[in-house]
Structure 1
């Protein structure tokens, strides 16, 4: 087939390529490739490309070659470039995972289960990640920050180290030699090591008379160390601040794919721990990461875990409702003097139609009254600020990009041209990407969960204070803007004792901690269900149903709720629930069947958890 080479570029694509060529750095882009295009793209020097799923293509190339690459693509997704994901910051007893470690007839420790950790790396020399004989519990490390020359599952991105190489490095260290000459991967920030310890530390050492034993001390790890976002990616997202733990979605997607491929090769169940989130992304589940996550829904023995984020009190979200056509609502945005650029989104529901009025601190008023215009730049004379407004249809999103935005109170007035639903949600980037004083003056704590949050293969948990069983104001809160009950559960997340690279301990709190507890707990369920062959055909849907069914629901609260979803993670409660179902089951009917409504629609088989829908 002859290629229909792309000769024309849209204005957005030309601006992107023009900007990209200023930087001699590697980036990932994505688009829809022509048939046979992959071999052509891979023939370009310094370029590697693979098809991830359907029309999603990952391309690893120098920015100076983007024009050459893009002529083989139907489209280059510029909007996907604008999401920047950050770590969720910062315990196991409250989940009752420890009870399962020595429970008669169960004895669950996560043995035979893989846990994929997408984070800042891991201290593979720590004895908590080794067996009693000193051999490693880490089956693979992918380090995206060390570029090699060999393709890894067809993509030349990063360097892979297997368990044999890791064991050689451990042995070298024990001989007093430099282990990093063999496996040079390190965890400089320490977050990955800390969270891996919560998930599956073995309890091998004592730290000030305390042991650190993770929720799944018998699991094994696949670790993907992420490459931080380049200056190019931060510029494209309007971020001018130096943030060590900022990552672009393309690299996260590559890490997800890698971990899934390793688990497929080893034919073992996998829990993927993803302690990352963003506020600026498509919230309909149509962003790049969640599209790939949905692709994994049909894969047995695979689930992804993330936290609800730490944005509950960060004043970077506002929401409201316009009651009728012709009415309006004002978003008041206070801008810090050191902010620089600022990109943010306003989401609404179809079929509502809006226009936008912007009032600068000096009082200049500009109205964007043509929502059909895909792009318009507004110049504010006194402030010297430029603002671009994009009305994205049919995704019901207004994207606002402010360049050199000055200090003061800016007003963004939403005018309801044609209102049916009337609800709207505005999101600034995560707090660590903003200058300290930048915030919405009329902020809301509801719907502050970060993205991803909607995929069916994903389980999201918030965090609570386990010392007094109370709600934590900083935890991200539900629901999604579509009313999905997210987070599904909550887990302990305050003052967890964690491992530090090189030895010693630290104290962490936050969404990452709670998600790590949940990830370890799900490894125990996979061991019982798949490794011990109680429910070998278990899917992510089923796991979520079991966790929701077994959650502990204190009588002081009404459930589900925006803070804790369906309740507090309780592993013992899950197995007690399973036992009660087993006792009442008739014949050999699958336990999962008792927790779900099942029916057929023509040739489609549908299973819906009873805890999610109430059938009268």
Structure 2
């Protein structure tokens, strides 16, 4: 929790996750509940009430949300998902929801659209925009509260500015609320709009516009903190001010943005991570284009995800662990369903994690996710195992700058000291965080020593408490110019283990001292004590890592993947079948020592949709990098999430236990197999096999329908055949007639020149796009078995008219041979749109 010394006002409310057996008692002690998931409630509590809340017998744990970090990753045939689609009647995720809790989505990418151009996204929750304030209870008229507004950093690496408002009345109107905010120096008139109110009877909604518009700045960097001064009569219900952030965009709102091509749509995936992961799990491949990996043009139907017909739910998250749970709840609750409509089975994919836990599945966020999955059949959560399994050899240059080398484990002998040493390299500007966990009767004193041998004072462990009458467990001091915080507590309620938390911040405007730092732990109770230490990695900063001899690969699977009811996914390289060196390893460190990861999937060089690619080039679809390759367990997890969607389509009534058993019992063993036919903490149960998992998931009753609307899947099953197969099938049909053979010869002779002209000649490019060439091409490949392969009209316009303009442009810019071919066969070419394959020989060929 936040240090009490940092809170000027004890009424300031802090966000907490509370694991409790008696929610009513917790609320009576001051908890204002926002939502619950099983025994875990998320809400806020005044800092002065923390002690009373934590002291309740019914409260097992009070904790602040953890901050996750992004990991990252195509290999659908490698996991045999293409074969799963051909299991009669065909499975592609129809009537199943794939939810991705991540950095958002590029709604404009065609991989997430239907054939008619509308979106496949049934709901998009953005947890970073629209700030909601709602008053409940009955405060007296003179009750007030204040807000601390923290804005985005003015430039990369700079601190985020903040200011505190003047008192805000609990009866404020929208205009009064807005006036208080605009009185701040860092909020100008026109930067916010406020709606709703008055606050006592209606919620207040704050939206940022102007310089803080989410279309312009990263909305996740705009936050409020609340301090209250509420009064109420003993006979009245206590007042509560609930503050939440989030806006739900409906399918209709997304469709409206697509129709208008409104690129100012406020919810954006600025990092591209969520777009990439969603594309792996459930992109339909309808977007043609090249990839960053190599300039290689592919038409529609090439980059197809695992479950291309699934409904999509997107949650843009803050990466705070309470918002992970909120995102999963949003997917499972399905509030967008029409009244009376049944729930659909749903799988949630999470490609992020945090090392700041005991790695035993007892963190409140993990307990909450476990409860959501256990609540009913047709639910599953899949998470990336993390990218910290590698060992870093500092003697070799160059070496990886981020990730790996973050776990160390030793036994501290009774009555003796033990050292753990870590290396700080140049450019470490952000604070480095450490967590040390141990159990049993042992007691460990702590000391930190800088690279130039300046030691800190010895810190002894104290009972874990938030009672203000007890000693403050957080020790703050300055060591060689660094701000250091250490908290060493005994018997954490969540697992009865002992924890030491260390944070080292660099001197103002500087970096953490380069060199080898030392942590010394001395056992004082006469008991040999095993200890595990983790460094919290960072995505962009040169964070600390243990020296090479002290590093351990094991127990690097992050939360939430270490939860009991979450499927943890490791990563391997599909090009050589080898486990990714970075892939997180188990086991968990609870009493069970559970195998983790549970399963592995492709996670190296995975090509999937790229966000904002439409702006990267003015040339046709095939020459724009609409796809990009990535590595990491972030890429592996959505492969498994898509597989679970196929399993749910085969049998919507699967429980989590069914899903886990069917996935793990059908996994393929690696070659070579380090533990023949047995799971291990590198590979889990092996490589995911979507075909085998789907077959095992089919209902046992002969003739039982595996899922609704199976006929529709059958009708589209061939759409997902590889492009080469579809081209060959179209070629065979066209070559069946003399006129078809002539057309095929014309295309074969001139296609390279036509492609070059469309890429380089502005007039040809405009004509190609105005006739909707990319869409017609996608349709031709997607409907190769239609009797009329090229329609007479497309998007309400006659295709021959557009084709005529394209032929004119090509003749004007092309070679003499191309001009002669166009002049000779123009009438034939213009007669093809709308003609059936059977009538080709009736067309004019000269």
| Map of 1:240 onto structure 2 | none
SS of the aligned residue for 1:157 comes to strand
Residue of structure 2 in register with 1:509 after alignment: 631
Deviation at 1:468, TM superposition (A): 0.8
Distance 2:303 2:86 in 1: 16
> Is the Cα contact below 8 Å between 1:326 and 1:415 reproduced in 2?
yes
Instruction: Find out whether 1:425 has 2:532 as its counterpart.
Output: yes
Deviation at 1:280, TM superposition (A): 1.1
- Counterpart contact for 1:450–1:476, Cα < 8 Å: yes
Counterpart position of 1:346? 436
- Of 533, 537, 541, which aligns to 2:657? 541
Counterpart of 1:99 (choices 60, 67, 83) is 83
**1:8 matched to which residue of 2?**
none
State the secondary structure of the residue aligned to 2:258. helix
Task: Return the offset for 1:462.
Answer: 0.4
- SS at 2:415's partner residue? coil
How far is the alpha carbon of 1:20 from its aligned partner? 11
> Residues 120 and 192 of structure 1 are in contact (CA less than 8 Å); yes or no, is this contact kept in structure 2?
yes
Change (3 A) 1:280 1:98: same
Give the whole-Å Cα distance in 2 for the aligned partners of 1:378 and 1:335.
21
State the Cα distance separating 1:16 from its structure 2 match.
Answer: 4.8
Partner residue of 2:375 out of 289, 298, 316 = 298
Which residue does 2:689 correspond to in 1?
Answer: 570
**TM-score in terms of structure 2 length:** 0.57
Mapped partners of 1:86, 1:459: distance in 2:
18
Unaligned runs of 5+ in 2: 133-195, 197-202, 206-241, 290-296, 391-402, 465-472, 507-511, 615-625, 704-846
Deviations 1:293-330 (A, max 9, x none): 12122321111001111112234433334274234432
CA distance in 2, matches of 1:250, 1:124: 25
Partner in structure 2 of residue 216 of structure 1: 307
**For residue 554 of structure 1, what is the aligned residue in structure 2?**
670
| Map of 1:205 onto structure 2 | 287
Deviates more, 1:348-357 or 1:433-442: 433-442
Match of 1:233 in 2: none
3-state SS of the aligned residue for 1:50?
A: strand
Higher share in strand: 1
State the SS of the aligned residue for 1:184: coil
> Residue 397 in 1 paired to residue 387 in 2?
no
The number of residue pairs the alignment matches comes to: 531
CA-CA distance at 1:477 after TM superposition: 1.5
Q: TM-score, normalised by structure 1?
A: 0.76
Contact 2:432 2:543 in 1 (8 A): no
**Larger mean Cα displacement after TM superposition, 135-144 or 403-412:** 403-412
2:561 is matched with which residue? 453
Q: Per the alignment, do residues 165 and 384 of structure 1 end up closer, same or farther by CA in structure 2, a change over 3 Å counting?
A: closer
Deviation of the 1:192 alpha carbon: 1.1
Q: CA deviation at 1:49?
A: 4.8
The offset of 1:130, in angstroms, is 1.6
- Conserved in 2, the CA contact under 8 Å of 1:490 and 1:567? yes
> Residues 475 and 379 (structure 1 numbering): CA distance in 2 closer, same or farther, change over 3 Å?
same
Render the CA deviation track for 1:102-152: whole Å, top value 9, x for unaligned.
Answer: 23x240101110011111111222222122122221110111222055989
CA offsets 1:504-558 (integer angstroms, 9 cap, x no match):
111111111100111000000011011xxxxx2x211211111110000135112
CA distance in 2, matches of 1:437, 1:343: 9
Cα distance between partner residues in 1 of 2:126 and 2:351 = 17
- Judging changes above 3 Å, is the alpha-carbon distance between structure 1 residues 148 and 406 closer, same or farther for their aligned structure 2 residues? closer
Cα gap change, 1:410 to 1:514, in 2 (>3 Å)? same
Matched, 1:377 2:475: yes
Instruction: Report if aligned partners of 1:385, 1:406 keep a CA contact under 8 Å in 2.
Output: no
For residues 454 and 436 of structure 1, what CA distance do their matches in structure 2 show?
23
Check conservation: 2:361, 2:564, Cα contact below 8 A: no
- Structure 1: segments with no counterpart, 5+ residues: 1-10, 43-47, 228-246, 531-535, 589-616
> CA offset at residue 28 of structure 1?
4.0
Which of the numbers 157, 170, 180 marks the counterpart of 2:245? 157
C-alpha RMSD of matched pairs (Å): 3.8
Partner of 1:137: 120
Matched residues in 1 for 2:385 and 2:34: separation? 31
Residue 216 of structure 1: CA displacement?
0.3
- Partner of 2:273 in structure 1? 191
Q: Does 107-116 or 339-348 show the bigger shift? A: 339-348
Number of the residue aligned with 2:449: 359
Partner of 2:597: 487
548-557 or 261-270, larger mean C-alpha shift: 261-270
Take 2:408 and 2:485, find their aligned partners in 1: how far apart are those partners?
21
Please report how far the alpha carbon of residue 257 of structure 1 lies from its aligned counterpart in structure 2 after TM superposition: 2.3
Alignment of 1:239-388 (within 5 A): 247-262=319-334, 267-296=343-372, 297-313=374-390, 314-322=403-411, 324-336=413-425, 338-339=428-429, 341-365=431-455, 368=458, 370-372=460-462, 375=473, 377=475, 379=477, 382=480, 386-388=484-486
Contact kept? 1:318, 1:427, Cα under 8 Å? yes
Q: Which residue in 2 is equivalent to 1:171? A: 259
Q: Report the CA distance between 1:200 and its aligned residue.
A: 0.9
